[in-house]
Structure 1
């Protein structure tokens, strides 16, 4: 029996809105096992991205329990969650979230330095080379295309060789050809060190590449 990487039990998420509380997640229960690749699918507003954020400890569930690698994220404060993610989770966002005043190399090396990695810049350079950006390490985000910026974001997420990779619509801001290249790289990085991958996608072709798809509708597993 493969150990579960994620165990969610009756997870709810309620956020404040102008007209009162809004139920985003309504009792989600699921398990993801080690090395598995899972797609979170469903229409816009179904709770996919919110579920991914809860799984990554970037959004605190308002009910239920969220266990990642055996640790209960539901009981951790923000500092504890940040420490837990370091080296264990790599997260790729749709909008890249690169620091504009830093080069590609610095963007990838900074989280490694914060995690206490002694050869952070060497490791960052190797990660950028792995995504085909060896010649762009000293370029700033504004000097790169969207696809190149997402490669930097992917290198940053994968450089620490985390046990978990989370990706929120990682190709959403890219054209189809560039998006396909990014997804090939994401799967390659997953394979290179056996990470567990959970991704949010609207793309059926991408969902079928995963081991399974979990469909959400109105904040529930459909």
Structure 2
């Protein structure tokens, strides 16, 4: 059996609320295999996005062990986590998170520039071409539609050729037709870069495209059928 790209062992996440500690995730253990597409489903507040953030190294677990690409994330500090993400992980959010004062090509080139990559703008231009936005590369986010902004976000996530792509409700702010186009592009990016994909979604048709689907409810893993009810 090959080594998993992501492994969680007895992971919990507890945050402090106004009324005291809140258990966000409880005793999560799972493996994600190389090249797999994993869907995470469940009702709002079930912990799906929090689980994705833990796997991406954007949130720290309260207890347990998280290993990604052979690196134990729970043993890393903030600076080391940032370096690890920069070289291995691409993240696409529901709300795009583009830098409003930068053009599309500047947004896409930013992670390459931070990594000291040569020809950052040439690679960014090629990635924008791949998502059909080559002609809009000098536009600012406010000049782009929601679907176009998400295409820029996809290009930015993929431009570093990450080994793992994380997507948190990437079609949540888009209409049906635009969302379908974005998902097609996301799967194309996964195939083109040979990446593992972890996807949070409420959409049953999108979940069915995944190799495997895990459900969450009240911070615990359960079957897809139970979580979808």
- Give me the TM-score of the superposition, normalised by structure 1: 0.99
Local SS of the residue matching 2:82: helix
Report what 1:191 is aligned to: 191
Local SS of the residue matching 2:99: coil
Report what 1:119 is aligned to: 119
Report what 2:201 is aligned to: 201
Local SS of the residue matching 1:40: strand
Instruction: After superposition, give the CA deviation of every residue in 1:166-206 in whole Å (9 maximum; x if it has no partner).
Output: 00000000001000000000000000121000010000000
Report what 2:175 is aligned to: 175
1:141 is aligned to 2:137: no
Instruction: After superposition, give the CA deviation of every residue in 1:35-55 in whole Å (9 maximum; x if it has no partner).
Output: 000000011111000000000
Report what 2:227 is aligned to: none
Local SS of the residue matching 2:129: helix
Report what 2:210 is aligned to: 210
Report what 1:41 is aligned to: 41
Instruction: After superposition, give the CA deviation of every residue in 1:131-154 in whole Å (9 maximum; x if it has no partner).
Output: 000100000000000000000000
| Alpha-carbon shift at residue 3 of structure 1 (Å) | 2.3
Q: Distance in 2 between matches of 1:215 and 1:28?
A: 12
Local SS of the residue matching 1:52: helix
Aligned residues: 222
Report what 2:226 is aligned to: none
Local SS of the residue matching 2:12: strand
| Alpha-carbon shift at residue 2 of structure 1 (Å) | 2.7
- Give me the TM-score of the superposition, normalised by structure 2: 0.96
Local SS of the residue matching 1:166: strand
Alignment of 1:1-222 (within 5 A): 1-222=1-222
| Alpha-carbon shift at residue 20 of structure 1 (Å) | 0.4
Q: Identify unmatched segments of 5+ residues in structure 2.
A: 223-229
Instruction: After superposition, give the CA deviation of every residue in 1:200-219 in whole Å (9 maximum; x if it has no partner).
Output: 00000000000010101110
Q: Distance in 2 between matches of 1:110 and 1:166?
A: 18
* Runs of 4 or more above 2 Å deviation: none
Q: Distance in 2 between matches of 1:154 and 1:133?
A: 11
Q: Distance in 2 between matches of 1:95 and 1:88?
A: 22
Q: Distance in 1 between matches of 2:69 and 2:217?
A: 26
| Alpha-carbon shift at residue 62 of structure 1 (Å) | 0.3
